[in-house]
Chain A
Amino acid sequence: MSVTTPSEVDRAEPPARPPSGPEGRRPTVSRRRRRLRPYILAVPAVLLCVGILYPFFVGVSYTVFNFSAANPNPAFVGLRNFAEITTSAPFWNSVRVTGSFALTATAVETVLGVGVALLLYRGGILGRILERALIVPLMVAPILAAIMWKLLLLPEVGWVRPILEGLGVTGYTGTDSPLWAFLWSVVVDAWIYTPFVAIIALAGLRSLPASPFEAAAVDGAGWWFTFRRLTLPMLWPYVFVAVIFRLMDSLKMFDIIFGLTTGGPGDSTTTLQINAYLESISYARYSRGITYMVVLWAAVYLISMILVGYLRRLQNRTAGEAA
């Protein structure tokens, strides 16, 4: 399968040369109109955004009140919600859980995704058939995926126990232990999103230039050397894009963990999002729940800023090397 960027496809067909039209239209467009043009084009999108952003800022404004079902006429409390939350044990527990879930899931998906991409890149009949099926988990609604996996994992109902027993593994108890509740959440996240990493890594592999690899082959470099010194560094800018998306998404992952464990056993899988949900919906303490979410949102922002900065340096460096 050859790799063509869409733009290359476009260029392949010669653009239709427009028949000569009425003369002298362009100079009549005033300069002012030309300067306004991008705004005219973009304004509808801006308006639509503002409409959607309004509830967002209303939500953010809840954080400075003590609004809850028990206190329906709230008072302004400044930053007290933030102070209360960040000095509470459940908050720090969920920070730890959120962090370790996001890091573990992203790491597993990256390694597995790159591995799958390398295997598929080898080609072969099997590879080409299976590549078609790669996307399937990504196309199932996450809420349905969570329900599906919950059933699969239930020892009395699902297929996981008989499969494990077939492999000689006994003592399977589903998500009963904190460790396994955590690991199974990672497995389900990896089930959905490994294809995402694999698809991007595969595209990266297919667009790498041939010459460095030919030179390495001429020098008689081994597979591992080529992989470590050439493939991985050249592929990294692509993989890193996938890493950013996965890290950001898994920091705010809700459906899967809530569907599988509702944050249990104990508080072992209670992430920031789950605390936010419990506080704002289940316990009807709106201000506190939204404060959790704003903290998460700020963290996602900060981390994405750092990572995107790194990505740009990475891409500039790669571009510099290529030049």
Chain B
Amino acid sequence: MTAPGRPPGPETRRRSPVAAVAANIALVVYFAFSLLPIAFIIALSLKADRDQTTTYLWFSPTFDNYRTVLGLDGGGSSYVRFFLASLTTSVGAVLVSLVIGIPAAYAAARWRFKGSDNLMFTLLSFRFAPELLVIIPLAVIYRQLGLYDTAVGMIWVLQLVTMPLVVWILRSFFADFPVELEEAALLDGYSRRRVFVKVVLPLVRPGIAAVSLLAFIFAWNNFIFPFTLTSSNAQTVTVSSLAYLGGNLVRFNLVAAGAVMAALPPLVLALFIQRYLVRGLSFGAVKG
């Protein structure tokens, strides 16, 4: 079937029912593989302690694990606090990246200036550098500067994750935007700044929204930085989900409940940026 508005393309011309059935079976097999671990972790999060390694699918589900993780059973839990800390640091990291990254992206898209390539590539290289490389010195520096275990420290180090995304993707959005429009506005006697704020920014707003959500997701999911640079104050929820992998009994069911809740924000947000995902994931190299 051809959806309206879908361009004719390299699709298979032969629409034999056999091929269609085979294609659908292949799709179902792939998605069964793709969603199986998710089903497993959800099932595990609903198991009582005794069931956690002794049953597959047949057990009586309980929400006790969620209650325990959230501290609703009176046992006390920092999960909600860490969840909020995750929100603070991820949102903070994205905001800082936007405020600082948007002008840089705009400059890189509009002018070729000395060092612009170096700057852009330096930013991209963070994406490919092994994080372990900076961890040992960073642990020292954070202690010396008093940034250890603070939201400010986390927001700063997460720039390694969010800044390259924001700058590279927004540069590609700015580059798409026709210069002529800006020039027309300039001829009408507007200052650069007003043209940028009144004309350019509104038009790239969808791009900014998409890149913000994507950067948020990656900041949220990061493990190594919050693990090494925080402890009880600014710890994030990705780290604290692992807190039950110890003690007298290992509570995989609690880890699962924590992980399911920690994965919700990225999953929900991802639904909103489907359209810009391609450009986002490829750092603007493919525009979808």
Do A and B share a direct contact in the complex (Cβ within 8 angstroms)? yes
**Chain A residues within an 8 Å CB radius of B44:** 151
Q: Does B282 contact A (CB under 8 A)?
A: yes
Contact B104 A45 (CB under 8 A): yes
A210 near B8 with CB under 8 A, answer yes
Whether A141 pairs with B1 at a CB distance below 8 angstroms is: no
Interface residues of A in 24-38 (CB under 8 A from B): 24-26, 29, 37-38
Closest residue of chain B to A122, judged by CB? B23
With A2-B7, A37-B107, A42-B116 known to touch, is A25 a contact of B203 (CB < 8 Å)? Answer: no
In the complex, chain A residues whose CB is within 8 Å of the CB of B238: 141, 143-144
Would you call B63 an interface residue if the criterion is a C-beta within 8 Å of the partner chain's C-beta atoms? no
Interface with A: B68-76, B77-85, B154-162, which one?
Answer: B154-162
Q: Which residues of B contact A130 (CB under 8 A)?
A: 27, 31
Partner of A126, one of B28, B125, B173: B28
Asked whether A293 lies within 8 Å of B286 as measured between CB atoms, the reply is no
A contact residues around B207 at 8 Å (CB)? 6
CB pair A133–B56 under 8 Å, yes or no, is no
B129 at the interface (CB under 8 A from A): yes
- A152 CA to B44 CA, complexed, in Å: 10
Q: How far is the CA of A142 from the CA of B133 in the complex (A)?
A: 19
Give the distance in Å from the alpha carbon of A278 to the alpha carbon of B194 in the complex: 54
Q: Whole-angstrom distance from the CB of B86 to the nearest CB of chain A? A: 11
Q: Whole-angstrom distance from the CB of A240 to the nearest CB of chain B?
A: 10
From residue B223, how far is it (CB to closest CB) to chain A in Å?
4
Inside 8 A of A249's CB, which chain B residues have their CB?
Answer: 128
Among A151, A191, A207, A226, the residue within 8 A (CB) of B252 is A151
Task: Give the residues in chain B near A143, CB-CB below 8 Å.
Answer: 223, 238, 242
Which residues of chain A in 13-70 are interfacial with respect to chain B, using CB atoms and an 8 Å cutoff? 15-16, 18, 20-26, 29, 37-39, 41-42, 44-46, 48-49, 51-56, 58-60, 62
Cβ of A127 under 8 Å from chain B: yes
**Residue numbers in A under 8 Å from B282 (CB-CB):** 200, 241-242, 245
Interface centre among B13, B34, B271 (most CB of A within 10 A): B34
> Counting CB contacts under 8 A, is A176 at the interface?
no
Q: How many Å lie between the Cα of A120 and that of B167 in the bound state? A: 31
Tell me the count of chain B residues lying within 8 A, CB to CB, of chain A: 116
A43 to B10 Cα, complex, angstroms: 46
Total cross-chain contacts (CB, 8 A): 320
A204 and B13 contact, CB distance less than 8 A: no
A103 within 8 A of B: no
Are B3 and A52 touching (Cβ within 8 A)?
Answer: no
Contact with A along B244-278 (1 / 0, CB 8 A): 01000000100110010011001100110010111
A236 to chain B, nearest CB (A): 12
Given the complex of chains A and B, what is the CA–CA distance between A152 and B37 in angstroms?
7
B17 within 8 A of A: no
Q: Do residues B8 and A199 form an inter-chain contact, with CB atoms below 8 A?
A: no
* Other-chain contact of B133, A59, A119, A301 (Cβ < 8 Å): A59
Tell me if B181 is interfacial: C-beta within 8 Å of chain A: yes
Minimum C-beta distance from A278 to chain B (A): 11
Does A95 lie at the interface of the complex (its beta carbon under 8 Å from any beta carbon of B)? Answer: no
A23, A148, A157, A202: the one within 8 Å of B259 (CB): A148
Output the least CB separation between A189 and chain B (Å): 13
- Inside 8 A of A162's CB, which chain B residues have their CB? 56
A204's partner among B141, B167, B270, B286 (CB-CB below 8 A) is B286
| A238 cross-chain contacts in B, Cβ below 8 A | 286
Give the residues in chain A near B30, CB-CB below 8 Å: 112, 116, 119
Knowing that A143-B242, A199-B278, A255-B223 are A-B contacts, what are 16 other residue pairs whose CB atoms are under 8 Å apart, sorted by A's residue number?
A: A18-B185, A21-B190, A22-B189, A38-B113, A49-B119, A55-B134, A56-B137, A58-B137, A124-B1, A141-B262, A142-B221, A147-B245, A205-B9, A208-B9, A242-B282, A290-B133
Those 7 A-B pairs whose CB atoms lie nearest each other, nearest first = A7-B176, A203-B288, A2-B5, A141-B221, A41-B103, A45-B104, A58-B137
